[in-house]
Amino acid sequence: MNAVQLCLDPPLRYVSRSKQLGADAIDGYVRETIAALRAEHAASGLPFTQYHGCSEEDEQIVEVCLPTASGDIELPGQEIAFTVARGAECEYPEILKVYDAVVAFAAEHGRAVGGPPRETYVTDPGSPNPEMEVAFPLLGV
């Protein structure tokens, strides 16, 4: 895992599909949904997934997103804390350590996370050498 960094993300238009899933079904859903969205839309950036918490059944509410100029949803410009995970760090449950590192960094710098965390896929999920950014939006200073 690389060091955690801060940056200001510009607004981003995207299309998405969401589903409530158990941990064992998330990877397959993400791969299939990215492929389906790419088949329907011209991408203008890297795909990403936002996690909107757990249901009462302890399943994740997963939103798979594809940036595109024709997107009907806009992610607002926001400051984020993020790091890059590679290889085995991208696999569950190891990825949880990456999330924890980003949250700890924000706290150490007097910042609170706010909003859904996201994984931006530098390489496609399921690739032999996975790489992704794990980011949390930050609340005001």
Furthest-apart CA pair in the chain: how many Å? 42
Whether 125 contacts 27, CB under 8 Å:
yes
DSSP characters over 43-76: --S--EEEEEEE-TTS-EEEEEEEE-TT-SEEEP
Q: Who's near 134: CB < 8 A, 6+ residues apart?
A: 82, 83, 84, 85, 95, 98, 99, 102, 117, 118, 119
- pLDDT above 80: residue 57: no
Among 105, 31, 100, 104, residue whose Cα is nearest residue 62: 31
Whether 69 contacts 11, CB under 8 Å:
no
Q: Give the mean pLDDT of the chain.
A: 94
- pLDDT above 70: residue 103: yes
Give the N- to C-terminal CA distance of the chain in Å, as an integer.
Answer: 26
> In the chain, where are the structural domains located?
5-137
- pLDDT above 70: residue 53: yes
- pLDDT above 90: residue 58: no
What's domain 5-137's architecture?
Answer: Alpha-Beta Barrel (3.20)
- pLDDT above 80: residue 37: yes
C-alpha to C-alpha distance for 63 and 137, rounded to whole angstroms: 16
Structure tokens at 107: 């706290």
Which ranges in the chain belong to alpha helices (H)? Answer: 23-40, 95-108
Q: What is the pLDDT of residue 2?
A: 82
